[in-house]
Chains A and B, each alone.
Chain A
């Protein structure tokens, strides 16, 4: 359970201030959890049979391998404690130079311990993401503000496409409704690649822009919004395994009557609408040039929405069993404000502001928000874990 995907590893260093929140807590809680995991590891090791050949053994060996970093940190911790004990008598040594040497050494050991307690252990306790392999579907919908909202949506879309490219994800615009007066009314983008969902998921919510629209001659600052929904995207074969819906529950409709149809007419549009009857979810797709492709895309979106519901439900269930209050994941909540006059972007969930709006919209600064949000999420998970252990 303490398996780390390689791409998480680099963030270890950025845990140097793993949490102001955790620091204030008693380090003994973290130690108790770590101690328990180390005990479990020992039990697992003792269960491995001599020739290491049973299927259970393979699972056990994998578990051991996964918890190796924790064992290493624990060994370091024990070692530091032992050295500290050995050092204690020297602190009151009659020789002043020996005393000062010992006290220096003591400080350095203490620092090692603190670092383990505050950074290394917490970062190793973050459970692996269950959605780490998933790609993402990002839906953008213009909200309040009319054309200004559509114009901003087009800019957000560009920002996400650039972010995807910089993160080595492959992005495709699946659907896009342009506005007659400029901008984009709504859009769906497919972001493919391992970790795409985990990177984008924190973008879900209402994005607010405050600026003087190009269309306003009086120069007044307007406030407009764009809603972003990030959905988990599964490979077609994995989607089948999840059994998110049965085909008999999906009503497939084709839009627009074609009169005689067949050879008689050559219509270019082949919109498809799906209705998932149990959930009432409907998906319309018309951006592709064939019915088959529109249908495929529509099923992709339907699958993603149902998968999203499933994940949300599982989170809610886990939290309900834990019986604690956790901040809601309400998608109608305003999550970020882009204030042009002040050149500032603020994420309201973590209270983080960047004073360089252009670098968010045109540069790499979105990475800063996303890694901060990811870190915040991981801290929350560790806190939850500690709370759970305390019962």
Chain B
């Protein structure tokens, strides 16, 4: 049983179609179901995205760095972007929405995520976006027929929670959101190694490509080191709460 804030009640009331419906939404929330899944949407920057279980709900930290990245790339000429593990599509949809010269490919291992991301693109009237199913850990990934390298921008919010920490997460995350979007192996770093391998691969990224990766609360150093060993220079961006959250890498 969760104690609900007045704000949450207000949002649920706004989402409800009748008093009885409101009561049923309240019951679901009290049982611990994430508010965003109950309402069915989550605002992300200027976009309002559809969300549904078990696809990862966009977090405010991600919203923050995606907007920051958009500010950096907004006025560049035509660019292509690849989003690894796109989930709801939030990062690449926001970037394509804010940067008129950008077109994006987004992949996810979960077909339900691919479907949701494409649905969100349609909802937001973004046509420079295409999501498709692919596993970027797989060795054949770079030769996937739908990819069109080289890409100018690589973004990812890969699963980064180490197994031991995953087991301690609260139920609203653990019970409802896809572990495949959260679990980054024993160290939490598995996916960063895979991304670094892609980055050094011949002609997968353009020579002046930039990379932005979200990391867990204590992973900035480790992920910076992984990218530096792939001959990349790195900056660390803090999130609004002061936690090192995003590794920005470039050649």
Interface residues of A in 165-184 (CB under 8 A from B): 176-178
Render A126-147 as a binary contact track against B, CB cut-off 8 A, 1 for contact.
0000000000000000000000
Interface residues of A in 233-263 (CB under 8 A from B): 252, 254, 257-263
A387 at the interface (CB under 8 A from B): no
Chain A nearest CB from B56 CB (Å) reads 7
Residue A327 is within 8 A (CB to CB) of chain B in the complex: no
Give the interface size class of chain B. Answer: 35 or more
CA–CA, A311 to B7, complex, Å? 34
* In contact, A265 and B173 (Cβ under 8 angstroms): yes
A263 touches B45 (CB 8 A): no
**Chain A residues, CB < 8 A from B34:** 266, 268
Report the Cα distance A176→B56, complex, angstroms: 30
Q: Is the CB of B36 within 8 A of A260?
A: no
Contact present for A264 and B161 (CB under 8 Å): yes
Knowing A261-B59, A263-B56, A288-B43, the reply to whether A268 touches B35 (Cβ < 8 A) is yes
| Interface residue? A289 (CB, 8 A) | yes
Given A268-B35, A291-B63, A261 contacting B241 (CB threshold 8 A): yes
Q: A263-B216, A290-B60 are in contact. Are A258 and B10 (CB under 8 A)?
A: no
Q: Of B57, B160, B239, B241, which is in contact with the most chain A CB atoms at under 10 Å from its CB?
A: B241
Counting from the closest, the 4 A-B pairs by CB-CB distance are A290-B43, A254-B240, A260-B217, A291-B60
A residues 249-296 in Cβ contact with B at 8 Å: 252, 254, 257-270, 286-293
Question: Which of chain A's residues have a CB closer than 8 A to the CB of B62?
Answer: 262
Contact indicator A254/B43 (Cβ below 8 Å)? no
Instruction: Verify A266–B59 contact, CB threshold 8 A.
Output: yes
Shortest Cβ distance from A289 into B: residue: B43
B residues contacting A by CB (< 8 A) are 5-8, 10-11, 34-36, 42-46, 56-57, 59-64, 67, 157, 159-161, 165, 169-170, 172-173, 177, 181-182, 214-217, 239-241, 243, 245
Complex interface: chain B residues within 8 A of A269 (CB): 5, 7-8
- Minimum CB–CB distance from A56 to chain B (whole Å) comes to 37
Instruction: Report the minimal beta-carbon distance from A159 to chain B, rounded to whole angstroms.
Output: 21
Interface residues of A in 286-321 (CB under 8 A from B): 286-293
Q: Is the CB of B46 within 8 A of A262?
A: no
A261–B61 Cα distance when bound, in Å, is: 8
A261/B42 contact (C-beta < 8 A), A178-B6, A270-B60 known: no
Q: Please give the distance in Å from B50's CB to the nearest CB on chain A.
A: 14
Which residue of A is nearest B158, CB measured? A263
Contact of B36 among A259, A262, A268, A293 (CB under 8 A): A268
For A, the interface residue count at a CB cutoff of 8 angstroms equals 27
A-B contact pairs, 25 of them (CB 8 A): A178-B10, A252-B240, A260-B243, A261-B217, A261-B245, A262-B243, A263-B56, A263-B160, A263-B173, A264-B165, A264-B216, A265-B170, A266-B36, A268-B5, A268-B7, A268-B34, A268-B35, A268-B36, A269-B7, A286-B7, A287-B10, A288-B43, A290-B44, A292-B43, A292-B45
By beta carbon, the residue of chain B nearest A272 is B240
Q: Contacting B11 at CB < 8 Å: which of A177, A265, A289? A: A289
Instruction: Indicate the member of A252, A268, A269 with the most B CB atoms within 10 Å.
Output: A268
Closest Cβ of chain B to A339, distance in Å, is 32
Complex alpha-carbon distance, A382 and B127, angstroms: 57
Within the assembled complex, what's the spacing in Å between the Cα atoms of A290 and B159?
22
CB closest chain-A residue, reference B240: A254
Which residues of chain B are within 8 angstroms of A289 by Cβ–Cβ distance? Answer: 11, 42-43
A262: chain B residues within 8 A (beta carbon): 59, 61-62, 160, 214-217, 239, 243, 245
Complex CA–CA separation, A178 to B14 (angstroms)? 14
- Chain B residues lying within 8 Å of A291, measured Cβ to Cβ, are 60, 63-64, 240
| Shortest Cβ distance from residue B35 to the other chain A in the assembled complex, whole angstroms | 5
Give the distance to chain B from A293, nearest Cβ to Cβ, in Å.
5
Question: Closest Cβ of chain B: how far from A301's Cβ, in Å?
Answer: 17
Chain A: which residue is nearest B176 at the CB level? A266
Known: A260-B217, A289-B42. A266 touches B10 (CB 8 A): no
**Chain A residues with CB under 8 A of B245:** 261-262
Q: Chain B's nearest CB lies how many Å from the CB of A289?
A: 5
Contact A263 B44 (CB under 8 A): no
Known: A254-B240, A268-B36, A292-B43. A263 touches B59 (CB 8 A): yes
* Residues in chain B near residue A293, CB distance under 8 A: 43
Chain B residues within 8 Å of A287, by CB: 7, 10
Cα distance, A287 to B6, chains bound together (Å):
10
Which of A259, A261, A266 is within 8 Å of B57, CB to CB?
Answer: A266
Closest chain B CB from A166 CB (angstroms): 24
